[in-house]
Amino acid sequence: MSIRRTHPGRPRLVPSSTAAPPREQVLHAAAQLFVTKGFAATSTREIADRVGIRQASLYYHFTGKDEILAELLERSVRPTVDRIEQIERLTASESPETALYLLALIDVHTLAEAPDNIGMLATHPDVTSSEAFDAFRSTRAELAEAYRRIASRAAGPAIAAAAEPIGEMLMHLVEVTTTLRSSGVPIDDATAATIAATCLRACGVPEGRIAPAASSAATLADGLSRSPD
């Protein structure tokens, strides 16, 4: 969990051009640099310069690059994970295909809305090899387990028999969202629906059952609260 610092920082080097809180400005600047330059090649000084603050002021908000990246990565999975229980509850009387489609749909939107496409760093060696990101990996594993659990009910017999890797497989399918974003492809409703339907096809769900699942999931998604209860 990120440590929030409440005492004031030093005066800015450059007046802010945005109304966003300084902490959010740091996250936004860091996300842009991490995605374009890479995590290892980005320094805290560069992040501070991008925001227009002193490097020392950055440390009033974060202990360093690891903490910044950890919070950004959490934003690429946490909104979906926080809705898993709600998704499963809403789809309890629906088909398992509907539940899987809805989970994938929500996950696509999470990745599409993640700041500066930071989700594309989730499998970067700097992330997968460092203990600093254990909390993120744990959250991501929770999401993979939800995919596995739901997909094992929706999948055809042959695929369900090998259910263990299904969770990761489906997450990688959904993570094409980040590749599309980096290519400039808009993640609109049609694209999100295509990705969610592909998840069902990968599980061996017959074509005739995909359209009904998509229709039911779309209806449920409209009522899915933005703040899970």
Residue 149 covered by a domain:
yes
- Quote the tokens at residue 67: 């903490």
Output the tens digit of pLDDT for each of the chain's 229 residues: 444 444 444 444 444 456 689 899 999 999 999 999 989 999 999 999 999 999 999 999 999 999 999 999 999 999 999 999 999 999 999 999 999 999 999 999 999 999 899 998 888 887 878 888 899 999 999 999 999 999 989 887 766 666 568 899 999 999 999 999 999 999 999 999 999 999 999 999 999 999 999 999 999 998 775 544 5
Question: Which residue segment(s) compose the domain that 28 sits in?
Answer: 1-73
Answer yes or no: is 229 within a domain: no
Looking up residue 117, the CATH number of its domain turns out to be 1.10.357
CA 102, 70, 181, 17 torsion-angle sign? positive
Tokens of 30: 């860091």
* Domain endpoint, select from 73, 103, 130: 73
- Is pTM beyond 0.75? Reply is yes
**Same domain for 124 and 50:** no
Which CATH number covers residue 6? 1.10.357.10
Handedness of CA 57, 58, 62, 66 (dihedral sign): negative
Are 217 and 149 in the same domain?
Answer: yes
Strands (E), 54-182: none
Residue 174 lies in a domain: yes
Token code pair at residue 109 = 């939107």
39 closest CA partner among 62, 58, 65: 65
Residues 101, 202 within the same domain: yes
